[in-house]
Amino acid sequence: MTEETLKALIHQGENQALEFKLRPSEDIGRTICAFANTGDGTILVGISDSRMLVGTSPKMESQIASIAHSCRPSVFAKIEAVEIEGKDILVVRVKRTGSIHSYKNIAYKRVGSHDQPLSPQEVIELARETGRIRFEDQICERASLEDIDEEKLQWYLTKRRTSRRKPPSEELNSTALLINLGAVRRYGHKLIPTNAGILFFGRNPQSFIPQSRLLAVRFEGRELSRATIDDLDCQGTIWEIVEQTEEFIRRNIRLFGFRTRFAFRRIDKMEYPVDALREAIINALIHRDYFETPDTKVFIFDDRIEILNPGSFPEGVSPERPIHKPRNPLLCQFMRDIGLIEKYGSGIYFMKDMCKDWGISEPEFILSQGQTKVVFKSAGKGILIQELRRLGIEFNQRQIKGLEYLLLYGKLSTKIYCQLNHVVPDTANRDLNDLLEKGIIKRLGKGRTAHYVPNIG
């Protein structure tokens, strides 16, 4: 750090990420702990609260390192001496670690320019945020081994053998297998299913974890309203919910068809790539925060599909940087074992690629406090243009613009084609006749009443 940078820091004054200390003391231990728990911060040692430069002695660096080491777990701060106005100031940089640190058996957080002890509930919340406490690992207190479905366990083992080529554990009985999988834990003298075990192998998971259901709704129009066309309360294990939701989506999105002499067959295409939607649903179910009580939701509108789940991306993960850092690693592993996850960390890339190939825009990720929303926007019948091009049918840009209008409004005249493309009638007629010859459109009426409609079945 340069002297000028240090002066600029001092000028800021103490704040959420900056603290002044005269000398190493217990106070500095609390601040180091608070920064490590709450967020990156810098401590300037050798400066008074009133920003007076006092300076430090050579031994203070080792004292600070010792205090940081005495935090539990230890904090490894970066310490640098910077000279300013003839005095050495120690710059102590502390990174948030993702662990929960305490100093003399008390955990601290940073609030403004102050260090405050964490309450027991706040310690629990921090443990949840940092993944030190996972919902899936906790025992499902009211459940027993009788609530595990043996048929579902055997189905999983069969799928795992075929999907991952994993040999059967013939020497283990069902109970031992469940313990090895993390689906059952010993609690005192009892064997009790974990939440992960109930969510994946349970007979009736929602009787223990009601927030594990998925609510699917097809709305009439483009807005949330009471006017619904279809709805389904998807229940069961996570993989059963995926199957139910996919079936619901298939019956509530449009199938477009196109007949063309060029392809000598009918072209059928769903409004959305179902594989991409399934990937988003799987992500919503395995990465959601099950400590929160809202349901996972799938909302279908005339122009889009929204998938909502409680919980945001883990720290350091974003839609642009989708590294594998799961909130529920056991559930992720189970889904991978049965072939519903192919490769960790590739799901978002897969969805984006699928949408691009399908002819619709990439899914939009909207992150807010405590919720992740993924939005797939419909291109309507416009996706058929992409499918026709895939078959080798070439269009110029004027024809594409005309087809988009035609598929949107169902009718196109030569006059409108000229207006859309700023061309003379001769050019418009040449383009439209080419589409007629390819069997993409058909002409109705004669003379002034002549117009074109899509050759869609």
Residue 265, pLDDT score: 61
Q: Is the pLDDT of residue 170 over 60?
A: no
Residue 327 to residue 131: CA distance in whole angstroms: 7
Q: Is residue 387 part of a domain?
A: no
Q: Is residue 389 part of a domain?
A: no
373 and 234 within one domain: yes
Residue 40's SS3 state is: coil
Tens digits of residue pLDDT in 370-390: 789 999 999 887 787 777 777
For the CA atoms of the chain, what is the radius of gyration? 31
223 and 314 within one domain: yes
Q: Is the pLDDT of residue 261 over 70?
A: no
Q: Is residue 449 part of a domain?
A: yes
Give the domain-ending residue among 208, 237, 270: 208
pTM higher than 0.85: no
286 and 157 within one domain: no
Q: Is residue 197 part of a domain?
A: yes
415 and 400 within one domain: yes
203 and 216 within one domain: no
CATH number, position 216 = 3.30.565.60
445 burial type by CB count under 10 A (0-12 exposed, 13-18 middle, 19+ buried): exposed
Q: Residue 154 sits in which domain range?
A: 136-208
Tens digits of residue pLDDT in 275-293: 999 999 999 999 898 988 8
Residue 345, pLDDT score: 65
Q: Is residue 388 part of a domain?
A: no
Residue 199 exposure: Cα atoms within 13 Å on the Cβ side: 28
Give the domain-ending residue among 381, 416, 432: 381
| Residue 313 banded pLDDT, cuts 50, 70, 90 | confident
As a whole number, mean pLDDT of residues 118-126 equals 85
Q: Domain tally for the chain?
A: 4
229 and 370 within one domain: yes
Give the domain-ending residue among 152, 183, 208: 208
154 and 295 within one domain: no
Q: Is residue 412 part of a domain?
A: yes
346 and 226 within one domain: yes
295 and 429 within one domain: no
The region of weakest confidence among 250-254, 357-361, 453-457 is 453-457
How remote is the C-alpha of 373 from its chain's centroid? 8
Q: Is residue 314 part of a domain?
A: yes
Residue 126 to residue 240: CA distance in whole angstroms: 32
436 and 351 within one domain: no
450 and 407 within one domain: yes
Residues 278-305 as b/e (b if ≥16 CB within 10 A, e otherwise) read bbbbbbbbbbbbbbeeebbbbbbbeeeb
Enumerate residues 6+ apart whose C-beta is below 8 A from 245.
214, 216, 232, 234, 281, 298
Q: Is residue 88 part of a domain?
A: yes
Tens digits of residue pLDDT in 314-366: 666 667 776 777 889 999 999 999 998 876 667 888 999 999 988 899 999 99
Residue 232 to residue 39: CA distance in whole angstroms: 42
Residue 61 to residue 177: CA distance in whole angstroms: 53
368 and 225 within one domain: yes
